[in-house]
């Protein structure tokens, strides 16, 4: 019984730290302004929605990887999935959870758009370096 309690508390604590980590990643990207090119490609004008995330992730897979952003993207993608699960399972019971999850998924979409912006800039740098050779 005691081992089960310790396990449940450990998983809950790990989940809290994971959520804090993902939210800190998304908060750091919220200060970044998207370039006009990324806005045109993604269709995000100024505010991202939760529906933008899967489309932007598909675009991210087309670009060369940028200096270790894979871990952050995977964490935010898992967080996005977790939010989707919460919306389908718990949100019908707790309506205020739905609006919070929508805002969080929109932050995930904006985070992915910022990552796309960084990858496009990185691709430009690589192209410039190769053309100088």
CA dist 91 and 93 (Å) reads 5
- Report in angstroms the alpha-carbon separations of 69 from 119, 123, 129: 9, 14, 21
User: To the nearest 5 percent, what fractions of the chain are helix, strand and coil?
Assistant: 75, 0, 25
Domain ranges of the chain: 2-132
Euclidean distance between CA atoms 107 and 30, whole angstroms: 8
pLDDT values of the chain reduced to their tens digit, one per residue, 133 residues: 899 999 999 999 999 999 999 999 999 988 888 888 888 888 877 677 778 889 889 988 888 787 778 889 999 999 999 999 998 998 788 888 888 999 999 999 999 999 998 888 888 888 888 877 6
Predicted TM-score (pTM) of the model is 0.87
- Name the phi and psi angles at 32, rounded to 5: -85, 130
């Amino acid at each position: 019984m005691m081992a089960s309690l310790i396990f449940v508390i450990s998983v809950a604590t790990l989940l809290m730290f994971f959520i804090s980590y993902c939210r800190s990643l998304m908060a750091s990207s919220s200060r970044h302004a998207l370039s006009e090119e990324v806005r045109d490609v993604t269709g995000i004008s100024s505010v991202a929605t939760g529906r933008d995330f899967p489309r932007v992730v598909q675009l991210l897979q087309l670009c060369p990887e940028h200096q270790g952003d894979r871990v952050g993207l995977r964490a935010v993608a898992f967080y996005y999935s977790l939010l989707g699960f919460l919306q389908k399972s718990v949100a019908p019971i707790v309506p205020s959870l739905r609006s919070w999850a929508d805002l969080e998924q929109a932050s995930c979409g904006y985070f992915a758009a910022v990552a796309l912006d960084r990858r496009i800039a990185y691709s430009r740098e690589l192209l410039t370096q190769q053309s100088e050779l």
